[in-house]
Amino acid sequence: MVEHFRSPKVFAAAALLTVLVTSQCARRNGPQATGASSVRPSELLAQNPPKPAPALTGSGDAARRSVLEFLSWAGASTPGQREEARVRIAAAASNPDIVNALTSEITSARTRDHSRALLALSILGEMRSQYALPYLRSVLREPLPQPGRLIEGEDPNQTAFAILQGKAASGLAYLNNADSNAEVFWAVANHASRIVRAEAIRAYLENHNNSGEARESLRRYVRKGEEIFLDRPNRGPGERGEVFNRRLDAYLQAHQELTAPAPDRGSGAQQGRGGSNFDAQPPRF
């Protein structure tokens, strides 16, 4: 045996086999990490209860720092802190430096972190500030990016920007004055994206208590074929099922065209290959 390993070819084959088997085995092991936590999230959350909202104040650089701190807090804030955030945000409405710092952050985040851009735009819209109107208008009116490569049938750059423009429309509808509503109506009639038109309609209706008058105001602008958006239900956070179900039933009753046809059958049931049926319960939270 020892003699065999004096042959370079046998040595190479044995070494190759050993290294490959070792590397395959290693890769079948579980993931590895440095710096992992052994603390349950429930304990971690108990040790770090939600922090109170920082103030959105200051001018110049102080305003910029305040916005950055607030964005960090707001992104991590919990559902129970929604009203606390709204109070802080509303209190900054008369501060143009805060508005400017927010708009800078939105512009900067648009191409590098969509979730941050959406977060900052939500705060700007919630501020209901006259100072925010020009920026919200400029975002809403900016043309969609040029058509590009599709992902699963949609243009991801256009969808990304349309989602932000929908949030701008929601901020304008929430501002709810003649100038801002004119922008909402413009979007309902003219915006190139159905996502934005739909959000503009929803936001206007909800900000006017879904009144018949609001519906009639919108009807003058809604595109032919999109009148259905005036009727569709929204399920809000914490809303009871029976309330939503009543609205959904009314929607389906009013629009028989929403009834889907029977699903199509395939060419024959296909069985999977089988495999690991690991069914251990996840660790206690």
Partner 1 sequence: MKTSAILAGQVLALALLSSVTWGVCVQTGASQADTDLWNTHGCWQEYFLWQYRAYDMNGNDWNNRGWNDACNSSLEYPKHWNAAYLVTYGLLDNNDQSFHGTADYRAAAEARGSNFHDHFVHKIKDDNGVFGSFDPPDNLFTSCPLYDPSATNSNPASRAGDFMHESWHGWMRKYNYNNGSQGGHRPCNNNPDGTCTLGACTVNGCDYFYFHGVSKYVFGAMWENDGTANRFHSPNQVQVEFLCDVSDQPQPWVPASVRLRAAADANARSAARFINGPGYTCGSFRPW
Residues 89-148 interacting with partner 1 (rule: CB under 8 A): 89, 111-116, 118-119, 121-126
Single residue of 1, 2, 3, 30 touching partner 1 by CB under 8 A:
30
Q: Taking CA 109 as the corner, what is the angle to CA 186 and CA 149, rounded to the nearest 5 degrees?
A: 70
Concatenate the DSSP letters of all residues of 143-184 into one string.
PPPPP---BTTB-HHHHHHHHHHHHHHHHHHHH-SHHHHHHH
Contact positions with partner 1 (CB under 8 A) in 228-257: 228-229, 232-242, 244-245, 248-249, 251-252, 257
Task: Kindly tell me which of 6 and 220 has the beta carbon lying closer to partner 1.
Answer: 6
User: Can you give the three-state secondary structure of 53-112, one letter per residue?
Assistant: CCCCCCCHHHHHHHHHHHHHHHHHCCHHHHHHHHHHHHHCCCCHHHHHHHHHHHHHHCCC
Place of tokens 């389906």: 252
Contact positions with partner 1 (CB under 8 A) in 203-222: 203, 206-207
Shortest distance, position 196 Cβ to partner 1, whole Å:
9
Shortest distance, position 98 Cβ to partner 1, whole Å:
15
Task: Kindly tell me which of 30 and 212 has the beta carbon lying closer to partner 1.
Answer: 30
Single residue of 1, 3, 28, 146 touching partner 1 by CB under 8 A:
28
Single residue of 1, 2, 178, 269 touching partner 1 by CB under 8 A:
269
Task: Kindly tell me which of 21 and 60 has the beta carbon lying closer to partner 1.
Answer: 21
Contact positions with partner 1 (CB under 8 A) in 145-204: 149-154, 156, 159-160, 162-163, 166-167, 170-171, 174, 194-195, 198-199, 202-203
Task: Kindly tell me which of 5 and 60 has the beta carbon lying closer to partner 1.
Answer: 5
Contact 66, 57 (CB under 8 A): yes
Task: Kindly tell me which of 60 and 246 has the beta carbon lying closer to partner 1.
Answer: 246
Shortest distance, position 226 Cβ to partner 1, whole Å:
9
Distance CA 284, CA 266 (A): 41
DSSP state, 139?
A: H
Sign of the CA dihedral with 172 first, then 173, 179, and 182 last: positive
Gyration radius of the chain's alpha carbons: 27
Contact positions with partner 1 (CB under 8 A) in 32-51: 32-41, 44-45
16: tokens are: 């190759």
Instruction: Based on the shown chain and the rule CB under 8 A, indicate whether residue 62 belongs to the binding site for partner 1.
Output: no
Which residues does 246 contact at the CB level (< 8 Å), separation at least 6?
none
Task: Tell me the backbone φ, ψ of residue 41, rounded to 5 degrees.
Answer: -55, -35
Shortest distance, position 131 Cβ to partner 1, whole Å:
15
